[in-house]
Amino acid sequence: MRSEDKKADPDRIAWRKDCRDLARARAAAEDGEGAGQDGGLLAYRWEHVRQVVGLALRIGSRMDTDVEVLLAAAWLHDIGKGQPNHAAVGAAEARNFLATTDFPPEKIETVVAAIAQHEGLTRPVGAPPLEPLEAAVLWDADKVSKLGVSALALALGSANVKGNTLAARYHYTADFANRVLARTVQSMNTAPGRALAERRHADMLSALHAWVQEQADAQLIELWDKESHA
Protein backbone atom coordinates (compact mmCIF):
# COMPACT_ATOMS: atom_id res chain seq x y z
CA MET A 1 0.00 0.00 0.00
CA ARG A 2 1.10 3.56 -0.52
CA SER A 3 3.31 4.71 2.32
CA GLU A 4 1.32 7.87 2.92
CA ASP A 5 -1.84 5.82 3.40
CA LYS A 6 -0.50 3.29 5.92
CA LYS A 7 -1.19 5.52 8.92
CA ALA A 8 -4.72 6.73 9.52
CA ASP A 9 -5.34 10.47 9.66
CA PRO A 10 -6.56 10.96 13.28
CA ASP A 11 -8.75 13.80 12.08
CA ARG A 12 -10.43 11.72 9.41
CA ILE A 13 -11.32 8.21 10.58
CA ALA A 14 -14.99 8.38 11.58
CA TRP A 15 -15.94 7.28 8.06
CA ARG A 16 -14.47 3.83 8.75
CA LYS A 17 -17.02 3.14 11.47
CA ASP A 18 -19.76 4.72 9.33
CA CYS A 19 -18.98 2.38 6.42
CA ARG A 20 -18.82 -0.66 8.67
CA ASP A 21 -22.09 0.26 10.35
CA LEU A 22 -23.91 0.67 7.03
CA ALA A 23 -22.51 -2.64 5.76
CA ARG A 24 -23.57 -4.35 8.98
CA ALA A 25 -27.09 -2.94 8.79
CA ARG A 26 -27.58 -4.05 5.17
CA ALA A 27 -26.17 -7.50 5.90
CA ALA A 28 -28.45 -7.88 8.93
CA ALA A 29 -31.49 -6.99 6.80
CA GLU A 30 -30.54 -9.76 4.35
CA ASP A 31 -29.41 -12.36 6.89
CA GLY A 32 -32.51 -11.99 9.05
CA GLU A 33 -33.20 -11.43 12.72
CA GLY A 34 -30.96 -13.38 15.08
CA ALA A 35 -28.50 -14.44 12.36
CA GLY A 36 -24.99 -14.84 13.67
CA GLN A 37 -26.15 -15.29 17.26
CA ASP A 38 -26.26 -18.46 19.35
CA GLY A 39 -29.14 -20.57 18.11
CA GLY A 40 -29.62 -18.38 15.05
CA LEU A 41 -28.92 -18.86 11.37
CA LEU A 42 -25.56 -18.24 9.76
CA ALA A 43 -25.02 -14.53 9.07
CA TYR A 44 -23.99 -15.30 5.49
CA ARG A 45 -23.80 -11.77 4.07
CA TRP A 46 -21.98 -10.32 7.06
CA GLU A 47 -19.44 -13.15 7.08
CA HIS A 48 -18.87 -12.56 3.37
CA VAL A 49 -18.38 -8.81 3.74
CA ARG A 50 -15.90 -9.25 6.59
CA GLN A 51 -13.96 -11.79 4.54
CA VAL A 52 -13.79 -9.42 1.58
CA VAL A 53 -12.46 -6.58 3.73
CA GLY A 54 -9.71 -8.77 5.16
CA LEU A 55 -8.78 -10.23 1.78
CA ALA A 56 -8.75 -6.82 0.12
CA LEU A 57 -6.32 -5.57 2.76
CA ARG A 58 -4.11 -8.61 2.31
CA ILE A 59 -3.99 -8.39 -1.49
CA GLY A 60 -3.71 -4.61 -1.41
CA SER A 61 -0.78 -4.75 1.02
CA ARG A 62 1.24 -6.37 -1.76
CA MET A 63 0.41 -3.65 -4.27
CA ASP A 64 0.45 0.13 -4.59
CA THR A 65 -3.12 0.64 -3.47
CA ASP A 66 -4.86 3.41 -1.56
CA VAL A 67 -5.97 1.80 1.71
CA GLU A 68 -8.70 4.38 2.33
CA VAL A 69 -10.30 3.70 -1.05
CA LEU A 70 -9.89 -0.05 -0.59
CA LEU A 71 -11.45 -0.11 2.88
CA ALA A 72 -14.44 2.00 1.89
CA ALA A 73 -15.05 -0.03 -1.26
CA ALA A 74 -14.72 -3.36 0.54
CA TRP A 75 -17.11 -2.43 3.36
CA LEU A 76 -19.69 -0.97 0.98
CA HIS A 77 -19.37 -3.29 -2.02
CA ASP A 78 -22.58 -5.23 -1.31
CA ILE A 79 -24.87 -2.51 0.07
CA GLY A 80 -26.95 -2.85 -3.10
CA LYS A 81 -27.17 -6.65 -2.87
CA GLY A 82 -30.60 -8.06 -3.63
CA GLN A 83 -31.34 -5.49 -6.31
CA PRO A 84 -30.85 -5.87 -10.08
CA ASN A 85 -27.38 -4.68 -11.10
CA HIS A 86 -26.47 -4.50 -7.43
CA ALA A 87 -22.94 -3.25 -8.14
CA ALA A 88 -24.18 -0.18 -10.00
CA VAL A 89 -26.89 0.44 -7.41
CA GLY A 90 -24.43 0.08 -4.56
CA ALA A 91 -21.88 2.33 -6.26
CA ALA A 92 -24.43 5.12 -6.65
CA GLU A 93 -25.50 4.80 -3.04
CA ALA A 94 -21.89 4.73 -1.86
CA ARG A 95 -21.25 8.00 -3.68
CA ASN A 96 -24.09 9.72 -1.84
CA PHE A 97 -23.28 8.09 1.48
CA LEU A 98 -19.57 8.90 1.52
CA ALA A 99 -20.36 12.54 0.75
CA THR A 100 -22.09 12.74 4.15
CA THR A 101 -19.02 11.43 6.01
CA ASP A 102 -15.48 12.67 6.60
CA PHE A 103 -14.14 10.41 3.83
CA PRO A 104 -11.73 12.30 1.55
CA PRO A 105 -14.04 13.78 -1.12
CA GLU A 106 -11.39 13.58 -3.83
CA LYS A 107 -11.32 9.79 -3.45
CA ILE A 108 -15.05 9.11 -3.60
CA GLU A 109 -15.20 8.49 -7.36
CA THR A 110 -12.43 5.90 -7.13
CA VAL A 111 -14.48 4.02 -4.54
CA VAL A 112 -17.52 4.28 -6.79
CA ALA A 113 -15.57 2.90 -9.76
CA ALA A 114 -14.32 -0.06 -7.72
CA ILE A 115 -17.76 -1.02 -6.42
CA ALA A 116 -19.40 -0.57 -9.83
CA GLN A 117 -17.08 -3.15 -11.41
CA HIS A 118 -17.06 -5.90 -8.79
CA GLU A 119 -20.07 -7.91 -10.03
CA GLY A 120 -19.72 -11.28 -11.75
CA LEU A 121 -17.78 -14.48 -11.02
CA THR A 122 -15.68 -14.53 -14.19
CA ARG A 123 -14.14 -12.12 -16.67
CA PRO A 124 -13.51 -12.61 -20.40
CA VAL A 125 -10.43 -14.66 -21.26
CA GLY A 126 -7.49 -12.36 -21.89
CA ALA A 127 -9.25 -9.29 -20.52
CA PRO A 128 -6.87 -6.67 -19.08
CA PRO A 129 -6.95 -6.03 -15.32
CA LEU A 130 -9.68 -3.74 -14.10
CA GLU A 131 -8.87 -0.10 -13.47
CA PRO A 132 -8.29 1.65 -11.16
CA LEU A 133 -6.07 -0.75 -9.24
CA GLU A 134 -8.45 -0.71 -6.27
CA ALA A 135 -11.19 -2.08 -8.54
CA ALA A 136 -8.92 -4.97 -9.54
CA VAL A 137 -8.09 -5.74 -5.90
CA LEU A 138 -11.74 -5.54 -4.78
CA TRP A 139 -12.85 -7.88 -7.59
CA ASP A 140 -10.16 -10.38 -6.64
CA ALA A 141 -10.93 -10.19 -2.92
CA ASP A 142 -14.65 -10.67 -3.53
CA LYS A 143 -14.00 -13.79 -5.61
CA VAL A 144 -11.24 -15.26 -3.42
CA SER A 145 -13.78 -15.16 -0.58
CA LYS A 146 -15.77 -17.77 -2.51
CA LEU A 147 -12.81 -20.14 -2.67
CA GLY A 148 -11.33 -22.44 -0.05
CA VAL A 149 -12.45 -24.64 2.82
CA SER A 150 -13.97 -21.75 4.78
CA ALA A 151 -15.84 -20.68 1.65
CA LEU A 152 -17.14 -24.24 1.32
CA ALA A 153 -18.45 -24.11 4.89
CA LEU A 154 -20.08 -20.76 4.21
CA ALA A 155 -21.67 -22.02 1.00
CA LEU A 156 -23.12 -25.04 2.81
CA GLY A 157 -24.91 -22.66 5.16
CA SER A 158 -26.32 -20.47 2.40
CA ALA A 159 -29.90 -20.29 1.17
CA ASN A 160 -28.84 -21.99 -2.08
CA VAL A 161 -28.71 -25.39 -0.37
CA LYS A 162 -31.30 -24.89 2.35
CA GLY A 163 -33.45 -28.01 2.73
CA ASN A 164 -31.21 -30.15 0.52
CA THR A 165 -29.91 -33.57 1.50
CA LEU A 166 -26.23 -33.99 2.26
CA ALA A 167 -25.70 -35.71 -1.10
CA ALA A 168 -27.49 -32.90 -2.94
CA ARG A 169 -25.35 -30.32 -1.14
CA TYR A 170 -22.22 -32.14 -2.22
CA HIS A 171 -23.28 -32.25 -5.87
CA TYR A 172 -24.23 -28.57 -5.86
CA THR A 173 -20.97 -27.39 -4.33
CA ALA A 174 -18.76 -29.78 -6.32
CA ASP A 175 -20.38 -28.74 -9.60
CA PHE A 176 -20.00 -25.07 -8.73
CA ALA A 177 -16.35 -25.49 -7.71
CA ASN A 178 -15.43 -27.34 -10.90
CA ARG A 179 -17.64 -25.64 -13.45
CA VAL A 180 -17.61 -22.02 -12.28
CA LEU A 181 -14.91 -21.38 -9.71
CA ALA A 182 -12.17 -22.93 -11.86
CA ARG A 183 -12.86 -20.12 -14.35
CA THR A 184 -12.99 -17.60 -11.52
CA VAL A 185 -9.39 -18.46 -10.63
CA GLN A 186 -8.34 -17.78 -14.21
CA SER A 187 -10.10 -14.42 -14.13
CA MET A 188 -8.02 -12.88 -11.35
CA ASN A 189 -6.70 -9.37 -12.00
CA THR A 190 -3.64 -9.37 -9.76
CA ALA A 191 -0.73 -11.73 -9.11
CA PRO A 192 -1.35 -11.82 -5.32
CA GLY A 193 -5.05 -12.46 -5.95
CA ARG A 194 -4.32 -15.30 -8.36
CA ALA A 195 -1.86 -16.94 -5.96
CA LEU A 196 -4.45 -16.90 -3.18
CA ALA A 197 -7.18 -18.11 -5.53
CA GLU A 198 -5.13 -21.03 -6.84
CA ARG A 199 -4.20 -22.22 -3.35
CA ARG A 200 -7.68 -21.88 -1.95
CA HIS A 201 -9.30 -23.56 -4.96
CA ALA A 202 -6.93 -26.50 -4.61
CA ASP A 203 -7.79 -26.74 -0.91
CA MET A 204 -11.48 -26.63 -1.77
CA LEU A 205 -11.17 -29.46 -4.30
CA SER A 206 -9.19 -31.53 -1.80
CA ALA A 207 -11.94 -31.10 0.78
CA LEU A 208 -14.58 -32.08 -1.77
CA HIS A 209 -12.53 -35.16 -2.69
CA ALA A 210 -12.36 -36.18 0.97
CA TRP A 211 -16.11 -35.63 1.22
CA VAL A 212 -16.90 -37.97 -1.67
CA GLN A 213 -14.57 -40.59 -0.18
CA GLU A 214 -16.49 -40.39 3.09
CA GLN A 215 -19.74 -40.78 1.20
CA ALA A 216 -18.34 -43.95 -0.35
CA ASP A 217 -17.47 -45.26 3.12
CA ALA A 218 -21.18 -45.27 3.96
CA GLN A 219 -22.60 -46.31 0.59
CA LEU A 220 -23.83 -49.67 1.97
CA ILE A 221 -26.73 -47.81 3.56
CA GLU A 222 -28.07 -47.11 0.08
CA LEU A 223 -28.02 -50.83 -0.77
CA TRP A 224 -29.72 -51.63 2.52
CA ASP A 225 -32.41 -49.03 1.85
CA LYS A 226 -33.09 -50.50 -1.60
CA GLU A 227 -33.34 -54.03 -0.26
CA SER A 228 -35.59 -52.92 2.58
CA HIS A 229 -38.03 -51.30 0.18
CA ALA A 230 -37.89 -53.99 -2.48
Number of domains composing the chain: 1
CB atoms near residue 118 (< 10 Å): 24
pLDDT above 50: residue 6:
no
58-80 pLDDT tens trace: 999 999 999 999 999 999 999 99
Q: What is the per-residue pLDDT across 151-194, written as a single tens digit (0 to 9) for each?
A: 998 888 776 677 778 888 888 899 999 999 999 999 999 999 99
Q: Which of 104, 107, 71, 75 is nearest to 90 (CA)?
A: 75
Nearest-angstrom CA–CA distance, 152 and 208: 9
State the pLDDT confidence band at 7, using cuts at 50, 70 and 90. very low
Query: 23: domain CATH number?
Result: 1.10.3210.50
Q: Which segments of the chain does DSSP mark as H helices, in order?
A: 14-31, 44-60, 67-76, 86-98, 108-116, 133-144, 149-156, 166-176, 182-186, 191-217, 220-228
Q: Is 62 helix (H, G, I), strand (E, B) or coil?
A: coil
Which domain covers residue 110, as residue numbers?
3-228
> Taking the complete model, does pTM exceed 0.85, yes or no?
yes
Q: Tell me, what amino acid is at 121? A: L
